A and B are shown apart, each in its own frame.
Chain A
Amino acid sequence: MNFTALSPWIVAALSSATVLFLLISHWIRPQPRPFIASNIAFWKKAIVQSAPPKWKRGKIPWLSLLLAVLLGVGLVFFAGAPEGLATQKTALAIVIDAGWTMGALTRGGMTRFERALKEAAQIASSEGGQLLWIRAGTSPELLPEIPKEEALRRLQRQGVDDAPSAQDLALELADGMLSAHSQHTHATRRIVYIGDHEPRISTHSRLEWVRVGIPVDTVAITSFCARRLLHAAGEYLFEVEVSNHSNAQASFRLQVQAENIPLFDQTLTLGPREKRLVGGVGSTVHAARLLASITEVQIDGSRDSFSGDDRSFAVIEALRSISLLWVGSPNPFLQALLETHPLLRVTHLSPTEFSKFSKALNSYDILLFDRVNLSDTQDHPAIITFGMGSVDEGKPSKTPSRIDWVRSDHPIVEGIDLLGVSTGRTLPLHLGPDDVIFLRGGASVLGATRQNEGAKRVFFGFSPEASELVQSPRFPLLLHQALRWLKREVPPWPKPVGTGLRAVGKEPITGPGLPFSFWLPRSQKAGIYGLGPTHSVALDSHFWAQPLSGNPEKESQRPTDKDFDRWVLVGWLWLAVLTIEVMLLHRGWLR
């Protein structure tokens, strides 16, 4: 594949020079040796008896000259790929779906993926233009500019991924590459998508779908997800969606295991085209890999034709223990509340002890101040305070407050019904314009957060003394979610599997602006478990999602058109001079 083109003027000049050169070389070509004969009439008779047909004798030299001219001009055009003629060429991107469904068997006994490779080979053989190869696995992968056979071998070696393909991204990538390329060559852009799912997006390039595989009867796990419960540290919920993709009744055994510990094991029966959602609960503070599997599938009058969708994985991340320094007067409610958290290690100091406390505060994950002065702790990254200043300094209002406004989308109060709950007496808070208020009681601010330069603060404008809120089950949940918000890290996988991934590490993957490669490790090796289009969990934190872009490194290494032109011209002239010199020497015109 050659993405470099010469200008039409240069190609025309080269073609003319080639024709001229061939004509001159024909004119001064080495002549046959002279031989003096007694009588040429006998030679003519001999020619008639032994020579090939007359037309061959006369036409062969001219035919060979014509052929040489055509070959020479063709060679120049092939090497030059003139821009002016590029509109008649086609820049083709072959996108091969490598999602998990491509592993299904077709009627011929081969998988859909193998069939797709065959189709791709045929298309590539019949295509004379420029060719891009893109593998649409869990992320799109642009193969380097390699010969067709090498590309097919590489695709065959990689096989299919264990998750749905990133079809949309792959097509977008192909479209973007072709658009960028066509700005230089004006080639006709064409994308051939070979896969078993109809393309879902429209592209600027002409998109053709080569469908491989036909719908088959299968019982599938169409969704499997697991997440920790917000209100119960250590516990998690899992949900499995199973679907019957057939027109007959299907029965099967569904099992869910967490590290070989059975969580669910039932035989289910689904009607034609029926879906069902089943779920359950598990508990662990450690990371756990959950496996959902379907076995013993029986479909009336048919069979389960695709086994790739009979297993699915989900991952529960490990809970981290949190060290908390509680500074304040003893408070039985707060103490009981903190003790219910299984991961919390609490150190309690009275305000007097805290004034003599010499240990670095940064060794604690979270500081909790119950009506204590914050002047020495401003640089700590996570602090919860009840009121501003000491107990003596605090000036609580005389009337108890009742929560009458909740910002429901705030993560600290998400899912907790707090409206109408009394908080006791309110405490004054000194808030800034950028602070986010999530609880109000009349004119009083009862809850707010502050976040700047990595430091997080949670302010509660009520006392953790006996009140309706503190004594209700909502208070532990509120505090736990506050702790969770303080320690929340940006998840390393903000996008689900199927979006473009780029990994950091020793291998060629780094951050923006630094050299990187298109090559991506396969999801199985990377520890990414695809569980459907909207759920995914990665074990390795050095992966995160980012859309793919061009390849600036390779772009910069490409020779410019100007360089290419110069070297082509120099090479051509050198060959022409050598050839003419040899011919002139042969004729004796040079001494």
Chain B
Amino acid sequence: MVEKSLVVKFDAKVQALLARARLRVTPRATSFRQGEHPSPIRAKGIEPSDLRPYVPGDDVRRIDWKAFLRSRTLVVRQFEEERNANITLFVDTSASMGIGTPSKLEVARFVAAAIAFVAMRQHDVVESILFAFAQGAAPSFQTLWHPEGWPSWLGTIESAKASGKTDFEGAVKSFVQKGSQRSLAVVISDLLAPGFPQGFRLLTSRGHELHVIAIACDADESPPVEGAIEVIDSESGERLHVEVDESMRQALRQAIRAHREACRESVQRMGGTYVEVNVAMKPEVIVQRIFGGRA
């Protein structure tokens, strides 16, 4: 049932790509439940990982007798325990995500669904957080525990509207205060707001692995207008009269790129990964981008 609905959402090419894709999570970010990711716990696993000297109290069934015959020293075998992972999707639904054709929010939905789909197939737990500051509203948390919950989770993602101000730091704080386990934190946003580096720092300080997917749009960097225009901020409503020419366009492009570059450096400095996609890209290209280093 779930698989069928996914077939409807992704075309054949994307489906094929997602079938091969894998989300790799570093062992320190795995959860406690059994899964497909290697964990730092050495226990009764299937995959042998190492040998160590025998100490009293060890299970005698784990003594490697062949090694004893070779070296006359008692050693015991160690095994990796394979566990699942928690995937936390921070999806930006602020008003600025409504810009572009298709809109950045549509691409963000697609990316989030693709990651969730792959994670669900790997028996990982997906928690999505739609963050956009609205007066009196808290970030929306939605957890996908098992495939049966996919339609509901997907419905929540699809019903998200682009509105409100970007408040990534506030969303991270709410997430941390909730006492979440360590996870792979995937941030899907256009990053065109302050507070992202602070949020990244807070996540990594709590042991979360950081993966940032920046969604770019030509309408931001090279607006298709010329001459006198009135620029209206999509989130604050602030207005500004601007005379657009080539030099203005170039200066705007440089300002946005400098900001994204600062975000990328911040992410990499914290051991995270940074991927940038553009709304003009084809879906399969986007999938290859976001799973390129992990598929």
Chain A contact residues, CB within 8 Å of chain B: 31-40, 42-47, 49-51
Complex alpha-carbon distance, A47 and B241, angstroms = 10
Contact B225 A33, beta carbon cutoff 8 Å: yes
Q: Contact at A43–B235, with CB atoms within 8 Å?
A: no
The contact string, 1 if C-beta is below 8 Å from chain A, for chain B 206-244, is: 000000000001001001010111111111101011110
The one of B193, B233, B250 that contacts A50, using a Cβ cutoff of 8 Å: B250
Contact A35 B192 (CB under 8 A): no
Q: Which residue of the partner chain B has the closest CB to A48?
A: B251
Measured between beta carbons, the chain A residues less than 8 angstroms from B227 are 32
| CB < 8 Å A-B pair total | 84
A34–B229 alpha-carbon span in the complex (Å): 6
Apart from A32-B229, A38-B217, A43-B252: 15 A-B pairs, beta carbons within 8 A: A32-B228, A32-B230, A33-B230, A34-B230, A36-B232, A37-B220, A38-B96, A39-B193, A40-B236, A42-B220, A46-B248, A46-B251, A47-B248, A49-B251, A49-B254
Question: Can you report 22 residue pairs joining A to B where beta carbons are below 8 Å apart?
Answer: A32-B227, A35-B229, A35-B232, A37-B220, A37-B223, A37-B234, A39-B96, A39-B233, A40-B231, A40-B233, A42-B255, A43-B231, A45-B252, A45-B255, A46-B252, A46-B254, A47-B240, A49-B251, A49-B254, A49-B255, A50-B245, A50-B251
Are A43 and B96 in contact (CB-based, < 8 A)?
no
Count residues on chain B whose CB falls below 8 Å from chain A CBs. Answer: 34
Least Cβ–Cβ distance between B240 and chain A, in angstroms = 6
- With both beta carbons as reference points, the residue of chain A lying nearest to B104 in the complex is identified as A38
Q: B171: shortest Cβ distance to chain A, in Å?
A: 17
A32, A38, A44, A49: which contacts B234 (Cβ < 8 A)?
A38
Q: Is B259 interfacial (CB-CB < 8 Å)? A: yes
With CB as the reference atom, state the residue of chain A lying closest to B97: A38
Q: Verify B232–A42 contact, CB threshold 8 A.
A: no
CB distance from A583 to the nearest CB of B (A): 16
How many angstroms between the C-alpha atoms of A264 and B225 in the bound complex? 96
Chain A: minimal CB distance from B234 (Å) = 5
**How far, in whole Å, are A37 and B254 apart by their CA atoms in the complex?**
16
- Distance to closest chain A CB from B110 (angstroms): 19
Q: State the Cβ distance, B217 to closest chain A Cβ, in Å.
A: 8
Q: Which 5 A-B pairs have the closest CB atoms?
A: A38-B96, A46-B251, A40-B233, A32-B228, A46-B252
Question: What is the bound-complex CA distance between A45 and B252, given in angstroms?
Answer: 7
* Residues of B with C-beta under 8 A to A35: 223, 225, 229-232
Q: What separation, in Å, do the CA atoms of A40 and B255 have in the docked complex?
A: 11
Is A46 touching B255 in the complex (CB atoms < 8 A)? yes
Residues of chain B in range 238-295 having any CB-CB distance to chain A below 8 Å: 238, 240-243, 245, 247-248, 250-252, 254-256, 259
Q: Mark B187-216, 1 if CB is under 8 A from A, else 0.
A: 000101100000000000000000000000
Question: Are A39 and B225 interface neighbours, CB within 8 A?
Answer: no
Contact B252 A42 (CB under 8 A): yes
A43 and B242 contacting across the interface, CB-CB below 8 Å: yes
**Residues of chain B within 8 A of A32, CB atoms compared:** 227-230, 241
Measured in the bound complex, the distance between the Cα atoms of B238 and A44 in whole Å is 11
Closest Cβ–Cβ distance, residue A36 to chain B (whole Å): 5
**A34 & B240 in contact (Cβ 8 Å cutoff):** no
Q: Does B154 contact A (CB under 8 A)?
A: no
Q: Does B160 sit at the interface, judged by CB under 8 A?
A: no
| B12-68 residues at the A interface, CB under 8 angstroms | none
Smallest CB–CB gap between B30 and chain A, Å? 36
Cβ of B231 and Cβ of A37 under 8 Å apart?
yes
Give complex CA distance A506, B229 in Å.
71
Q: How far is the CA of A216 from the CA of B226 in the complex (A)?
A: 73
Nearest chain B residue, comparing its CB with the CB of A39:
B192
- Check if B192 sits within 8 Å of A38, measured CB to CB: yes
Known interface pairs A35-B223, A50-B251. Does A40 touch B230 (Cβ–Cβ under 8 Å)? Answer: no
Asked whether A40 lies within 8 Å of B238 as measured between CB atoms, the reply is yes
Which of chain B's residues have a CB closer than 8 A to the CB of A36? 99, 231-234
A42 to B220, CA, bound (A): 9
> Distance (Å) between the CB of A37 and the closest chain B CB?
5
When distances are taken between beta carbons in the complex, the residues of chain A under 8 Å from B256 are 42
B217: A residues at CB distance < 8 A: 38
* B272 CB, min distance to chain A CBs, angstroms: 23
Q: How far is the CA of A35 from the CA of B242 in the complex (A)?
A: 10
Whether A42 pairs with B259 at a CB distance below 8 angstroms is: yes
The answer for the CA separation of A115 and B30 in the assembled complex, in Å, is 105
Please, which residues of chain A bring their CB within 8 A of the CB of B229? 32-35
Looking at A38, A44, A49, the one whose CB has the most chain B CB atoms below 10 A away is A38
Q: Flag if B242 contacts A38 (CB, 8 Å).
A: no
Minimum distance in angstroms from A54 CB to a CB of chain B: 13
Bound form: Cα–Cα A31–B96 in Å: 24
User: With a CB–CB cut-off of 8 A, which chain B residues contact A43?
Assistant: 231, 240, 242, 252
Q: Are B232 and A37 in contact (CB under 8 A)?
A: yes
Complex alpha-carbon distance, A37 and B235, angstroms: 9
Q: Give the contacts of B80-116 with A (CB-CB under 8 A).
A: 96, 99
CB-defined contacts of A49 to chain B, threshold 8 Å: 251, 254-255
The CB with the most chain B CB atoms within 10 A, among A36, A37, A45, is that of A37
Which residues of B have CB within 8 Å of A31?
230
Q: How far is the CA of A37 from the CA of B252 in the complex (A)?
A: 11
Q: Which residues of A contact B252 (CB under 8 A)?
A: 42-43, 45-46
When distances are taken between beta carbons in the complex, the residues of chain B under 8 Å from A37 are 99, 220, 223, 231-234
Residue of A nearest to B235 (CB): A39
Are B99 and A50 interface neighbours, CB within 8 A? no
**In the complex, which residues of chain B have a beta carbon less than 8 angstroms from the beta carbon of A45?**
251-252, 255
CB of A354 to closest CB in B, whole Å: 110
* Given A39-B96, A40-B236, A47-B254 contact (CB < 8 Å): no
Residues of A contacting B232 with CB < 8 Å? 34-37, 40
Give the distance in Å from the alpha carbon of A43 to the alpha carbon of B225 in the complex: 13
* A51 near B192: Cβ-Cβ < 8 Å: no
| Separation of A49 and B242 alpha carbons in the complex (Å) | 13
How far apart sit A39 and B227, CA to CA, in the bound complex (Å)? 19
| A34 / chain B contacts, CB cutoff of 8 Å | 229-230, 232
Residue of B227, B230, B250, B255 with most partner-chain A CB within 10 A: B255
In whole angstroms, what is the CA distance A499 to B232 when docked? 81
Chain A: minimal CB distance from B251 (Å)? 4
Name the B residues within 8 Å of A33 (CB-CB). Answer: 225, 228-230
- Most chain A beta-carbon contacts within 10 A, residue among B223, B241, B251: B251
Cα of A456 to Cα of B118 in the assembled complex, Å: 141
Chain A residue nearest to B241 in the complex (CB): A32
Chain A residues near B225 (CB-CB < 8 A) = 33, 35
* A334 CB to nearest B CB, Å: 111
Cβ of A477 to closest chain B Cβ, rounded Å: 102
Say how far A182's CB is from chain B's closest CB, in angstroms: 51
User: In the complex, what distance in Å separates the CA atom of A45 from the CA atom of B238?
Assistant: 15
Of chain A, the residue at the smallest CB distance from B259 is: A42
Q: Considering the complex, give the chain A residue whose CB is closest to the CB of B190.
A: A38
Inter-chain contact A44/B240, CB cutoff 8 Å? yes
Rounded to whole angstroms, the CA-CA distance of A35 and B231 in the bound complex is 5
A42 with B230: CB separation less than 8 A: no
Which of the residues B220, B250, B251 comes within 8 Å of A38, measured between beta carbons?
B220
- Distance between A397 CB and nearest chain B CB, rounded to angstroms: 118
Q: How far is the CA of A44 from the CA of B240 in the complex (A)?
A: 8
> Least Cβ distance of B152 to chain A in Å?
30
| B223 partner residues in chain A, CB cutoff 8 A | 35, 37
A39-B192 Cα distance, complex, nearest whole Å: 6
Once bound together, how far apart are the Cα atoms of A47 and B243, in whole Å? 9
Q: Once the chains are docked, how many angstroms separate the CA of A38 from the CA of B214?
A: 14
- Interfacial chain A residues near B231, Cβ < 8 Å: 35-37, 40, 43
**Which of B230, B235, B248, B255 interacts with A51 by CB under 8 Å?**
B248
- Shortest CB-to-CB span from B242 to chain A, Å, is 6
- A10 vs B149: C-alpha distance when bound (angstroms): 83
Check A50/B220 contact, CB under 8 A, given A38-B96, A39-B235, A45-B255.
Answer: no
> How distant is the Cα of A47 from the Cα of B252 in the complex, in angstroms?
8
Chain A residues in 8 Å Cβ range of B259: 42
A44, B251: Cα distance in complex, Å: 10
